[in-house]
Amino acid sequence: MSTETAGAPPRARVTDRSRSEERLAWRLVAPAVVVMLAVTAYPILRALYLSLFQYRATAPDDREFLGIDNYVTVLTDPLWWRDVWNTVLIMVVTVGVELVIGFAFAYVMWKIIFARGLIRTSILIPYGIITVVSAFAWQFAFSLNNGFVNGWLPFMDSDFNWFGQHWSAMTAIMVSEIWKTTPFMALLLLAGLSQVSGDMVEAAQVDGASWWQRLYKVILPNMRAAIMVAVLFRALDAFRIFDNIYVMTRGAQNTESVSFLTYRQVIEQFELGLGSALSVLLFLSVLLIAFVLVKLFRVDLAAARRES
């Protein structure tokens, strides 16, 4: 990350060689930087610019400068706050559940002795399935006409329409999301588990620590960075949830997320101005979540990635 915090090397050590190495480094990364500017920085700046206008793609001549009015419209609209609440709820519940199940899976993958490859592969299969496909699969599973969920759950009425009410529809969406991405969580946690030194765990065992004590006092603290990376990645992904909602409910029953709201303004309504304001707000929300999580876990990202 920043060289200053890591302690800048003394100026005297800057030699011709290191200077030319630095020049070479810049030349080597230059193409990547140019591409990044073209495909990331430009669209972001363009969205910022467009968000200041009343601009409908089907009536480009009626474009009008509004200043921050689009942001005021969004932030004072109850629909925006309702969708933010839905999105946060989906994020917290899915990431929470995934963390627990994902850890169990990671632990199994870590400890397993027989058929290791087979078991690791089977746990990872859902993650290899395209989200849209998994959303359709779960939609069919929960569907009243051709689904099996009602039949398998003994306490469910066979006529129960999962997509007919808010909470059941949200449940279906979250189940699909959890099923699909838990393996990803497990994979990241497995990376953390394999960094925990076996000596430490053994030492704790010799000292008489129980299984729970070893888990809480030795294993988990030592994989804090991995948990942080896993939670961060998944939280940011979950906050941008779109595919499952698009396929399963199309936002009906108040299951709309912030991404879906943005999609509807830009793609369906062709409201480029308002939609850009929404995507800027979505970007800022993601930034805020990343910042809060990094602060919360007090982890140095560079250290987590094993950079010196």
Residues at the contact surface with another protein, assessed by CB under 8 A? 54, 57-60, 73-74, 77, 79-80, 144-145, 159-161, 163-164, 249-253, 261, 264-265, 267-271, 274
Report phi then psi at 129, rounded to 5: -90, 135
How far is the C-alpha of 139 from the C-alpha of 169, rounded, in Å? 10
The least distance separating another protein from the CB of residue 304, rounded to whole angstroms, comes to 38
The least distance separating another protein from the CB of residue 54, rounded to whole angstroms, comes to 7
How far is the C-alpha of 245 from the C-alpha of 177, rounded, in Å? 10
> Residue 304: beta bridge partners?
none
How far is the C-alpha of 111 from the C-alpha of 190, rounded, in Å? 10
Closer Cβ to another protein, 100 or 130, answer by number:
130
Listed in sequence order, the residues at least 6 apart from 150 whose beta carbon sits closer than 8 Å to its beta carbon are 144, 156, 157, 158, 159, 160
| Residue that is written with structure tokens 């060689």 in the block | 17
Closer Cβ to another protein, 54 or 205, answer by number:
54
The least distance separating another protein from the CB of residue 153, rounded to whole angstroms, comes to 16
Closer Cβ to another protein, 185 or 281, answer by number:
281
The least distance separating another protein from the CB of residue 164, rounded to whole angstroms, comes to 5
What does the H/E/C string look like for 90-110? Answer: HHHHHHHHHHHHHHHHHHHHH
The least distance separating another protein from the CB of residue 100, rounded to whole angstroms, comes to 31
Closer Cβ to another protein, 196 or 247, answer by number:
247
How far is the C-alpha of 55 from the C-alpha of 266, rounded, in Å? 10
Question: Two tokens at 113?
Answer: 């002795």
The 8-class DSSP code of residue 144 comes to: T
> Contact 261/241 with Cβ under 8 angstroms?
no
Closer Cβ to another protein, 2 or 76, answer by number:
76
How far is the C-alpha of 253 from the C-alpha of 251, rounded, in Å? 7
Closer Cβ to another protein, 106 or 169, answer by number:
169
Closer Cβ to another protein, 124 or 144, answer by number:
144
The least distance separating another protein from the CB of residue 24, rounded to whole angstroms, comes to 23
Burial degree of 118 (CB within 10 A; 0-12, 13-18, 19+): exposed
The least distance separating another protein from the CB of residue 162, rounded to whole angstroms, comes to 9
The least distance separating another protein from the CB of residue 178, rounded to whole angstroms, comes to 22
> Contact 259/242 with Cβ under 8 angstroms?
yes
For the chain, the distance separating the N- and C-terminal CA atoms, rounded to the nearest angstrom, is: 9
Closer Cβ to another protein, 3 or 145, answer by number:
145
Question: Two tokens at 88?
Answer: 């946060």
